A = this chain, B = another copy of it.
Amino acid sequence: MPRYQQIARQIKQAIGDGELAAGSRLPSSRTMAQELGVARATVENAYGELVAQGWLERRGQAGTFVSPSATATASRADLASSRPQGAPMPFQMGLPALDAFPRALWARLMGRRLRLQTRYDLVMPEATGESTLRQAIADYLRFSRSIDCQPEQIFIAAGFQAAMRLAVRTLAKPGDGIWLEDPGYRYVRPVFADAGMVLHPVPVDDEGMQIGYGLDNYPQARFALLTPAHQSPLGVALSLARRHQLLDWASARQSWVIEDDYDSEFRYHGKPLPPVKSLDGPERVIYAGTFSKSMFPALRTAWLVVPQQQIAAFTRQTRHLPCTVPVLIQQTIADFLREGHFWRHLKKMRHCYSERRVWLENALSKEGFEVVPQEGGIQLVMRVQGDDRERVAKARAAGLAVQALSDWRITPEGAGGIVMSFTNVVSEEQAQRYARRLRQAIT
């Protein structure tokens, strides 16, 4: 096949695949010839053939364009549809209420930042994170979480895993032990395993992680990772006595407590306990937060608060694991915080989740399920007798995105359960419908 026909075929294929949008301009034949390293006449032959066939059209001086009739893609509708249109699956975990985020306000704030950007906003983000966002987070933590910290103690990272990777690279060495909640969040475990650390499962009861079990079995561990506000997934808070026990251990052993405070904002009964970090006289706590649940996951933005004495060590490691959150995203989050929108949004979400949670809890109880009482968080756990994985497989086959508690466990023992989210349950009626479908699917 002659070269010009090869080129023509590639262009047609790109149009057919939707890769070249209808109405878009092609490079000039001169430019295209340079790009491809062929003679200009070759490209002109290819363009000419496609114009004759109706794929392309010439618009005089303006150039050569993909014919609007050649494909129905690349319309405004297509632009908007380039992500799957489907709503979250019923009970799908890891998402905030997608209907409740103030998208128009967010677009306005980001639009303002876009207009204000100078050429100097095009350079790499600061390896530690943009100072404007570090300041805004320090301010938020001081007011909302009673954590008194300086902006320099805050390190921005592209999500919780990236934040953990930075902490591990700075503080851990191969062979170091780490206490992990069992059951607990599993997707972070490879970060520790990759670093050659030894994973010590510590059981959870109704006061949270059993610190005494850790002390008895792995006193020499160098780290403890936990979710003190609402244990993930069981939802219990770490008791005050255990918080002190934990800090005493870390202080005596010079070990590190990593506090994952990802959903602390969402508590529905009683007064929230302040974070462990706020009790951290001995400076042994690395605090981790994220905007994935309090704003939305597409941002991929999390942060660490590190002790004053560790600022230099963390800063050095950001050379190898720099913050990769784009500058514009960091700036807009900072504005969202500084201008009070974050507080207002959290307040609205607490009300929203409190309502959705009750809807789903009531609906599940009505269907005969046994919901474990929880004080906060953005998920529910139900007790089930027998093999929870088998039940969950049936539910998933019916399109319900619940998870088996056994899949959150490190050790195989322990009661079965079903874990689910209520954040995108938008009405009482929907909650009842979902609960009924779940019962029908698994019984």
Contact = CB atoms under 8 A, between A and B. Distances in A.
25 contacts: A19-B136, A21-B339, A24-B338, A24-B339, A25-B340, A27-B143, A27-B343, A36-B146, A37-B272, A74-B338, A80-B116, A82-B130, A82-B331, A82-B334, A83-B132, A84-B120, A85-B120, A107-B115, A111-B111, A124-B292, A124-B298, A125-B298, A158-B158, A187-B319, A187-B320
A216 to B, nearest CB: 32
A260 interface: no
A429 to B, nearest CB: 20
A95 B107 CA distance: 28
A41 interface: no
A182 to B, nearest CB: 20
Nearest to A92: B123
Contacts of A125: 298, 300
Contact of A139 (B14, B88, B110): B14
A98 interface: yes
A299 B325 CA distance: 8
B274 A37 contact: yes
A135 interface: yes
A347 B27 CA distance: 9
Contacts of A14: 139, 142-143
Contact of A122 (B25, B31, B74, B298): B298
Contacts of A187: 319-320
Number of copies: 2
Given A82-B331, A343-B27, A326 B298 contact: yes
B123 A298 contact: yes
Nearest to A137: B19
Contacts of A325: 300, 324, 326
Given A135-B17, A331-B82, A340-B26, A10 B122 contact: no
A75 B238 CA distance: 42
A117 interface: yes
B86 A347 contact: no
Contacts of A328: 298, 329
Nearest to A66: B340
Given A122-B297, A324-B162, A338 B20 contact: yes
Given A85-B120, A300-B324, 17 more contacts: A21-B339, A24-B338, A35-B343, A37-B271, A80-B117, A82-B334, A83-B120, A101-B122, A122-B298, A123-B297, A159-B322, A169-B194, A190-B320, A194-B320, A298-B327, A325-B326, A326-B326
A99 interface: yes
A271 B31 CA distance: 13
B36 A143 contact: yes
Interface residues on A, range: 35 or more
A79 interface: yes
Contacts of A347: 27, 31
A245 to B, nearest CB: 22
Contact of A27 (B20, B99, B329, B340): B340
Interface string A313-350: 00000011010111111010011001110011001000
Interface string A138-178: 11001110100000000000110110000001000000000
A53 interface: no
Given A14-B139, A20-B338, A114-B110, A343 B98 contact: no
A32 interface: yes
Interface string A76-107: 10011011111110000011101101010011
Contacts of A59: none
Contacts of A132: 82-83
A122 B135 contact: no
Contacts of A324: 158-159, 162, 300, 324-325
Query: In this complex, which of A17, A26, A142, A143 has the most chain B Cβ atoms within 10 angstroms of its Cβ?
Result: A143
A42 interface: no
B130 A83 contact: yes
Contacts of A82: 130-132, 331, 334
Contacts of A124: 94, 292, 297-298, 300
